[in-house]
Amino acid sequence: MKRNKRERQALLTETIKENPFITDEELADKFTVSVQTIRLDRLELSIPELRERIKNVAEKNFEDEVRSLPLEEVIGEIIDMDLDNSAISILDIKKEHVFKRNQIARGHHLFAQANSLAVAVINDELALTAKANIRFTRSVLEGERVVAKAKVISIDEEKGRTLVEVTSFVNSEIVFKGDFEMYRSHA
Amino acid sequence: MKRNKRERQALLTETIKENPFITDEELADKFTVSVQTIRLDRLELSIPELRERIKNVAEKNFEDEVRSLPLEEVIGEIIDMDLDNSAISILDIKKEHVFKRNQIARGHHLFAQANSLAVAVINDELALTAKANIRFTRSVLEGERVVAKAKVISIDEEKGRTLVEVTSFVNSEIVFKGDFEMYRSHA
C-alpha cells in the first residue's frame, strides 16, 4: 500500500523506534519506496543512519553492568542489558561463521551468542549453563544480522537456578530459540 | 588393591584397548603404581605411548569418509568414524576455550565439538541441526581432554531426520550429554 509522505514518515519513526537495527533497504521494502526516499525521510526526521544508531546504543557502557563475565567474552555485541530481567545482543554473520559449502551459519555460533547472553544477563559473579533446549528454526546466511533477545523467566532461589529464554531473529523472523537453565552462586 | 605384575599387565592391556586415550598418569593412579612402572609395562607389552596411539588413530584418513562437511570444519579431531552409526572426536581444552575468570571451559565449545560431530557422522552431503537438548554435567577445566562419542539412534527416512546422541567425557566422567535432531537431505 502506498502511503503519503506524512503517513510514511510517522510509520517510519515508529518502526525504527521498535526496531533500531532495521536497515534502509528493509525500510524501503516495507514501505515500497526507494532506498533514496528512506534516506531523505531520515534526514528530514533527523534519524541517524543504522551504523550511527548502533554506535549510539553500543556507546552505553555495559562493562560496569554485566557481572558474570567480562564484556569481551560475550559473543556478539550487547546493546541492551537489564540484569536478571532481559538483554539484547547482535551478531553479524561473517565468512568465519558459516559452512564453506553452503554459506549457512554454523549452529554453534548462534548457540554461542545466545548462551553467552544468557550468562551475561545473570546478576551474579558466577553463572554456568546446566541445561539447554534449543531449536534452529531457519537457516541464517552470511551477511545477515542476528538479534538475540534474552528474557529471564524465573529465578529459583532454593535451587540456585535461573531460567533464561533466548529468541534470535533476522529481521522479524525467528531463527533460533533456546531455553537455558543457568546455575548461579547466589539467587 | 595391589596386583601382581602379570595381573596388572593383563588389565593394563585391556584398559588401554577400551580407552586408547588414557594417560600414563591416569593408569598409574588406577593401578596404584608409579608412572615409571606403567612406562616399563608398556615397553614390555609393546604398547606405544599416548601421543603415538593418538597419531596412529589420527593417521587414518577420514577426509574421504566424512561427507557432510570438510574435515577442517569439524571442531576437535575425529579419531573414529562409522557413518550413520558412530563417531569419536577429541578436543583439548586450552586457554582460548575457557572463561578467564575461573578457567572453566565455555559451554559453546563443548557444544561445538558435539554438534559438529553430530553433523560429521551423517552420511549425506547436507546435514543441519534442527533441535538439540543438552546438559552440562560437570565443569571442564583448562588442560583437560574432552572425548566426544556420537551414536546414531534412529534415522527417520520419511521426515528426513536423524537422531544423534553425543556423550562427552573427561577420562571416564561424563561432562556433557546432548541429543541432536539432525535434518538431512536424503535418508
* Closest residue to B131, CB basis, from A104, A126, A135: A135
Q: What digits encode the pLDDT tens for the residues A123-160?
A: 998 899 999 999 999 999 999 999 999 999 999 888 88
B60 and A CB contact within 8 Å:
no
The answer to whether B71 faces chain A, any CB pair under 8 Å, is no
Q: Please report, for chain B, the start and end positions of each structural domain, with discontinuous segments joined by +.
A: 5-57, 62-184
Topology of domain A5-57, CATH: Arc Repressor Mutant, subunit A (1.10.10)
Residue A115 touches chain B, beta carbons under 8 Å? yes
For residue B115, give the chain A residue with the closest CA. A108
Beta-strand runs (E) in A69-185:
77-82, 86-92, 127-136, 145-156, 161-170, 173-184
Closest to B21 (Cα-Cα) out of B183, B184, B171: B171
Please report the pLDDT score of residue A145 as a whole number.
93
- Reply yes or no on whether the pLDDT at B122 is more than 80: yes
| pLDDT-based confidence at residue B60 (cuts at 50, 70, 90) | low
Indicate whether B58 pLDDT > 70: no
Question: Does B32 have pLDDT greater than 70?
Answer: yes
Query: Residue A109 has what pLDDT?
Result: 96
Any chain B CB within 8 A of the CB of A174? no
Q: Is the pLDDT of residue A187 over 60?
A: no
User: Helix A5-18 and helix A35-45: axis angle, to 10°?
Assistant: 80
Return the higher-pLDDT residue of A2 and B71: B71
User: What's the rounded mean pLDDT across residues B165-169?
Assistant: 97
Q: Percent of chain B at pLDDT above 90?
A: 65
Instruction: For A8-64, write each residue's pLDDT tens digit.
Output: 999 999 998 888 778 899 899 999 999 999 999 999 998 988 877 776 666 566 767
Q: What does the alpha-carbon distance between residue B116 and residue B74 come to, in Å, rounded to a whole number? A: 5
Q: Measured between CB atoms, does B101 come within 8 Å of chain A? A: yes
Cβ atoms of B13 and B6 closer than 8 Å? no
CB contact under 8 A, B99 and A73: yes
Q: Report the pLDDT value the prediction gives residue B52, as an integer from 0 to 100.
A: 79
CATH architecture for segment(s) B62-184: Roll (3.10)
Q: Which of B20-24, B36-40, B85-89, B137-141 has the lowest mean pLDDT?
A: B20-24
SS3 assignment, position B26: helix
User: Which of A64-68, B30-34, B183-187 is the most confident on average?
Assistant: B30-34
Band of pLDDT at residue A79, cut at 50, 70 and 90: confident
Rounded mean pLDDT of chain A?
Answer: 90
Cα dist. A158→A27, A161, A179 in Å? 47, 8, 20
What confidence score (pLDDT) does residue A20 get? 78
> Grid coordinates standing for B72?
577442517
Task: Considering only the beta carbons, identify the residue of B70, B73, B128 that sits closest to A139.
Answer: B128
Q: How far apart are CA B34 and CA A13, in angstroms?
A: 74
Take residue A69 and report the three cell numbers written for it.
563475565
Q: Which of B140, B145, B86, B75 is nearest to B114 (CA)?
A: B75
What 3-state class would DSSP assign to B5?
Answer: helix
pLDDT for A157: 82
Q: What value of ipTM does the predicted structure carry?
A: 0.71
Q: How far is B17 from chain A (nearest CA, A)?
A: 32
Place of cell 543512519: A49
Greater pLDDT, B158 or A41: A41
B45 pLDDT above the threshold of 60: yes
User: Residue B54's closest CA among B105, B30, B82, B19?
Assistant: B19
3-state secondary structure of B123: coil
Range B57-86 average pLDDT: 83
Q: pLDDT confidence of B106, banded at 50, 70, 90? A: very high
pLDDT of residue A158: 83
User: Does A95 lie at the interface with B, CB-CB under 8 angstroms?
Assistant: no
Report CB contact under 8 Å: A100, B134: no
Query: Per this entry, what is the length of chain B?
Result: 187
* Confidence at residue B67, expressed as pLDDT on a 0 to 100 scale: 87
Confidence of residue A103 (pLDDT cuts 50, 70, 90): very high
The helix/strand/coil state of A92 is strand
The whole-number pLDDT of residue A41 equals 93
Q: What is the mean pLDDT of residues A166-175?
A: 93
